[in-house]
Amino acid sequence: MNKSTEIQAQKETLRIETFSDGVFCIAVTLLSLEVGVKLNDEISNKALQQALLDEWPIYLAYVISFVNVLLAWIGHHGLFKMLNKTDNSIMIINGILLMLVALVPFPTKTLGKFLSTDAFNTAVIFYTGYFVLISIAFRLLWFAAARKKYLLVQDITPQQIRLTTRNENIGLICNTVILGVAFINPWAALVLSFVMWVYWIVFA
Amino acid sequence: MNKSTEIQAQKETLRIETFSDGVFCIAVTLLSLEVGVKLNDEISNKALQQALLDEWPIYLAYVISFVNVLLAWIGHHGLFKMLNKTDNSIMIINGILLMLVALVPFPTKTLGKFLSTDAFNTAVIFYTGYFVLISIAFRLLWFAAARKKYLLVQDITPQQIRLTTRNENIGLICNTVILGVAFINPWAALVLSFVMWVYWIVFA
Amino acid sequence: MNKSTEIQAQKETLRIETFSDGVFCIAVTLLSLEVGVKLNDEISNKALQQALLDEWPIYLAYVISFVNVLLAWIGHHGLFKMLNKTDNSIMIINGILLMLVALVPFPTKTLGKFLSTDAFNTAVIFYTGYFVLISIAFRLLWFAAARKKYLLVQDITPQQIRLTTRNENIGLICNTVILGVAFINPWAALVLSFVMWVYWIVFA
Amino acid sequence: MNKSTEIQAQKETLRIETFSDGVFCIAVTLLSLEVGVKLNDEISNKALQQALLDEWPIYLAYVISFVNVLLAWIGHHGLFKMLNKTDNSIMIINGILLMLVALVPFPTKTLGKFLSTDAFNTAVIFYTGYFVLISIAFRLLWFAAARKKYLLVQDITPQQIRLTTRNENIGLICNTVILGVAFINPWAALVLSFVMWVYWIVFA
């Protein structure tokens, strides 16, 4: 009986993760809907070439968000791999995290539309601030999981827990610093994001 | 033979649930497509900040619908976990339920667009009425399942059946009351929705 | 070795079915994107009520397409349940079928937009003609499967094969008749679709 | 322990493939969102018929992209079937490939919009150039996999590796030739794409 309850709990955890995966996967693919060109006046090869080149802020926003959501997905999976059971707090925080991830197309299109305009500063602050929110949700998710030992898989080591705590903290701090920089110099903030990616890809 | 037919029936039930999960997952992520800002006249940091703030009815509608669909998904899963087999009535009612869930972006954008306009009353009545329809579909689904003992999993207890019946009834009554309140005071209806969520999250 | 090749072939078949399921699921949920109201002049409760009622052709088109795609999904699954292996012809015909299913939002929005206009006849002929194409793809898919005994699961009976052939033929004939009726009386064609659904739900 | 690490690595590979499958599946279904007709002036059966016929460039672009993404999915699956483990390079290259696949709706709508206009040459060059990028990502993915023997499944033969290398090379060369032809004669480039499909369907 105890054994079958255990398996049931693992199945439920897997199920929540599968649903979450679906949200990450759809959100990341929906980003593409915002990308497209229009020609208003003259339709010619020259005009289309120019229009395709003029879309660079949209492409840049697409690439940045795609990588961010992909890294968030990898982080989410790494976190759920350590979970054996879920409780109410985890369900609620995970729901809030999904709500934020599903809405990533919104800051992305805002960034893409206003990156080359006078509203540039606000767009970058909004975008980087949005990812601070996502980092906070991740940090809370891990807090809710790590605080109760019986929610984690049995063969987890204290080192693994410490490492994850450290990673989540670094993620939150980095994103907050990037937001801070965005207030002073928006381009420096975007460059810092790239640097942070390299860090994650090499170390995690 | 009997055993393999049993397993076949369980597989079919799982398959229908997986498809339903897909509809819930896509519907919830598509909600984000409606969220976005436009600047018509002047493009400046001030104007973008103002435009982002002015979108609050859209954000509110997004959050309400996201939570509602997520809770509906949890309820749907809880119901299917008790099913061992499906029959024609369950298939049809589940199909109608999915048709309603997939269309949630429609009442959501209606609510978001008109929440801060003179058409506010109609928008809230339409929105809350829509979720009464979803509650009815859930109630019928459970009715179709609970009425035939052989459709349910074997180790289910009469208490579990009674509890689910009670929950489905409460859900339907709450949503109907909220619709009624929406006719008198739309804001009170939206506040009541929040209260109902807390109830579900704490008790179910 | 032979055994493991067999299992490998079954896995591949399952994989194609899972991908196909995804297309059905996404296509059916994307139908909702076309549904929405706009108020151009005056924004009031009256105007919104009227606008919501005026959308009935869009709602009708949504419901018809949702049911059609859901029935197509059930038919597709019934067909793949009899398949043990796939070959090149099945892959190609299935690809064409998915291409048609993924595009169902197109005839749906055409029907919804023009159902209450002077272009009504053309819209219904286009819509019903589109589902004749889907029936043909289904008929070809079953032809490609039934013609080679070794592609089917081993415990299939000749009766099952005959029944499926008969069902696919009836489906194709019904849809063709509906298209024919659409040329004479578009509303009669839409009513006939409803009658056909009842047939499928009761007999298949 | 070694055995369980092995199984864990296989699970992770499967997981990445499932996520990738989701992106392919959603991207291919989102293509349909661009297809639709509008009537600006007169609404009549004649006008709708004409409008439906005038959309042929959009239909053609839809079909070409659907087939291309479907073939890319088959190629992706064929490649992952040979993988036992993934490393950082594979993860990164696969991420870039998914980023490109998710964005296929962009070149598709560009092709569809401008296929019958004066900007035709640029649209075809952009479209065919986009698929050269996808071929390069595939070639790099296979390079990252084939270079380290321990990443591949154990029972793979040197012939299989050589055949895949040959196929990936042919794919890249063909797409580059098609891009070259697009500069001289755009229609010839589109016809060549069809010929290449027949090749893939018959030989791979």
Contact call for C23 and D28, based on CB within 8 A: yes
Residue A152 has pLDDT above 80, yes or no: yes
Query: What mean pLDDT do residues D28-45 have?
Result: 90
Farthest-apart Cα atoms in chain C, separation: 73
Whether the CB-CB separation of A35 and A54 falls below 8 Å is answered with no
The residue among D102 and B3 whose pLDDT is bigger is D102
All residues of chain C having their beta carbon less than 8 Å from the beta carbon of residue D52 are 110, 122, 126
Min Cα separation B158/chain C (Å): 31
DSSP string computed for A151-187: GB-TT--HHHHHHHHHHHHHHHHHHHHHHHHHHH-HH
Give per-residue pLDDT as tens, D5-18: 778 888 888 889 99
Q: What is the pLDDT of residue B1?
A: 44
A195–chain D Cβ distance below 8 A for any pair = no
Whether the CB-CB separation of B12 and B86 falls below 8 Å is answered with yes
Nearest-angstrom CA–CA distance, D74 and D197:
12
φ, ψ of residue D65 to 5 degrees: the values are -70, -40
pLDDT tens track of chain C, all 204 residues?
Answer: 467 777 888 888 888 999 999 999 999 999 999 899 988 878 899 999 999 999 999 999 999 999 999 999 999 998 998 998 888 889 999 999 999 999 999 999 999 999 989 999 999 999 999 999 999 999 999 999 988 888 888 888 889 899 899 989 998 999 999 999 999 999 999 999 888 888 777 776
Contact call for C103 and D35, based on CB within 8 A: yes
Residue of C85, C107, C102 whose CA lies nearest to C22: C102
For residues C111-139, b (16+ Cβ closer than 10 Å) or e, as one string?
bbbbbebebbbbbbbbbbbbbbbbbbbbb
Contact call for B49 and A122, based on CB within 8 A: yes
Q: Considering only residues 127 to 186 of chain A, which have any Cβ-Cβ distance to chain B shorter than 8 Å?
A: none
Copy the structure tokens of residue B20: 């339903």
C109–chain D Cβ distance below 8 A for any pair = yes
Query: What mean pLDDT do residues B70-79 have?
Result: 91
Contact call for C29 and B19, based on CB within 8 A: no
State the residue for tokens 């640097």.
Answer: A195
Nearest-angstrom CA–CA distance, C97 and C145:
14
Among A31, A33, A101, A122, pick the best mutation site for testing chain B contact (most B Cβ within 10 A). Answer: A122
Min Cα separation D19/chain A (Å): 7
B89 burial type by CB count under 10 A (0-12 exposed, 13-18 middle, 19+ buried): middle
Residue B72 has pLDDT above 60, yes or no: yes
Give per-residue pLDDT as tens, D68-124: 999 999 999 989 989 888 888 899 999 999 999 999 999 999 999 999 999 999 999
Rounded to the nearest integer, the mean pLDDT of chain A is 90
Min Cα separation A147/chain D (Å): 26
φ, ψ of residue B44 to 5 degrees: the values are -150, 170
Whether the CB-CB separation of B167 and B204 falls below 8 Å is answered with yes
Residue D3 has pLDDT above 80, yes or no: no
Q: Considering only residues 16 to 35 of chain C, which have any Cβ-Cβ distance to chain B shorter than 8 Å?
A: 21-22, 24-26, 28-33, 35
Q: What is the pLDDT of residue D188?
A: 95
State the residue for tokens 């493991």.
Answer: C4
Count the neighbouring beta carbons within 10 Å of the beta carbon of residue B169.
13
Copy the structure tokens of residue D165: 């290398």
Nearest-angstrom CA–CA distance, C111 and C104:
11
Contact call for C119 and D28, based on CB within 8 A: no
Copy the structure tokens of residue A196: 């942070």
- Nearest neighbour of B23 by CB, restricted to C29, C49, C74: C29
All residues of chain A having their beta carbon less than 8 Å from the beta carbon of residue D24 are none
D109–chain A Cβ distance below 8 A for any pair = yes
Question: Per mean pLDDT, which range of A21-30, A47-56, D195-204 is the poorest?
Answer: D195-204
Contact call for C102 and D31, based on CB within 8 A: yes
Q: Kindly give the residue spans of alpha helices, DSSP state H, lying in chain C.
A: 2-30, 45-54, 56-81, 88-102, 105-114, 120-146, 158-184, 186-203
The rounded percent of chain B whose pLDDT value lies above 90 is 65
D78–chain A Cβ distance below 8 A for any pair = no
Residue D1 has pLDDT above 60, yes or no: no
Nearest-angstrom CA–CA distance, A66 and A62:
6
D14–chain A Cβ distance below 8 A for any pair = no
Q: What is the pLDDT of residue C24?
A: 95
The rounded percent of chain D whose pLDDT value lies above 70 is 98
All residues of chain C having their beta carbon less than 8 Å from the beta carbon of residue D63 are 99
C62 burial type by CB count under 10 A (0-12 exposed, 13-18 middle, 19+ buried): buried
Q: Any residues with CB less than 8 A from the CB of C26 and at least 6 apart, and which?
A: B22, B26, C102, D25, D26, D29, D30
DSSP string computed for C11-43: HHHHHHHHHHHHHHHHHHHHGGGG------S--
Length of chain A counted residue by residue: 204
D195–chain C Cβ distance below 8 A for any pair = no
Min Cα separation A23/chain B (Å): 6
Which of helix, strand or coil describes residue A85?
A: coil
Q: Residue D195: pLDDT band by 50, 70, 90 thresholds?
A: confident
Among B14, B26, B35, pick the best mutation site for testing chain C contact (most C Cβ within 10 A). Answer: B26
Length of chain B counted residue by residue: 204
Residue A1 has pLDDT above 60, yes or no: no
Among A5, A7, A26, pick the best mutation site for testing chain B contact (most B Cβ within 10 A). Answer: A26
Q: What is the pLDDT of residue A185?
A: 94
C-alpha R_g of chain B:
20
Q: Kindly give the residue spans of alpha helices, DSSP state H, lying in B45-157.
A: 45-54, 56-81, 88-102, 105-114, 120-146
Count the neighbouring beta carbons within 10 Å of the beta carbon of residue D72.
23
Cα separation values, C171 from C35, C123, C174, D175, Å: 29, 21, 5, 41
Cα separation values, B64 from B30, B128, B196, Å: 14, 11, 12
Contact call for B66 and A30, based on CB within 8 A: no
Give per-residue pLDDT as tens, A32-55: 998 999 888 788 999 999 999 999
Q: What is the pLDDT of residue C204?
A: 61
The ipTM (two decimal places) reads 0.90
Count the neighbouring beta carbons within 10 Å of the beta carbon of residue D67.
20
Nearest-angstrom CA–CA distance, C173 and C179:
10
Copy the structure tokens of residue B4: 């393999």
Which of helix, strand or coil describes residue A37?
A: coil
All residues of chain B having their beta carbon less than 8 Å from the beta carbon of residue A98 are 28, 66, 70
Give per-residue pLDDT as tens, B15-53: 899 999 999 999 999 999 989 998 887 889 999 999 999
Nearest-angstrom CA–CA distance, B114 and B57:
8
Residue B132 has pLDDT above 90, yes or no: yes
A112–chain B Cβ distance below 8 A for any pair = no
Min Cα separation B102/chain A (Å): 15
Q: Any residues with CB less than 8 A from the CB of A87 and at least 6 apart, and which?
A: A144, A148, A151
Nearest-angstrom CA–CA distance, A16 and B25:
11
pTM: 0.92
Question: Per mean pLDDT, which range of A1-10, B189-198, C149-158, D25-34 is the poorest?
Answer: A1-10
Copy the structure tokens of residue C147: 């013609």
State the residue for tokens 């997939």.
Answer: B102
Min Cα separation A202/chain B (Å): 31
For residues D94-115, b (16+ Cβ closer than 10 Å) or e, as one string?
bbbbbbbbbbbbbbbbbbbbbb
Q: What is the pLDDT of residue A2?
A: 67
Whether the CB-CB separation of B23 and C28 falls below 8 Å is answered with yes
- Nearest neighbour of D37 by CB, restricted to C26, C99, C110: C110
Which of helix, strand or coil describes residue A87?
A: coil
Q: Residue A198: pLDDT band by 50, 70, 90 thresholds?
A: confident
All residues of chain A having their beta carbon less than 8 Å from the beta carbon of residue B77 are 15
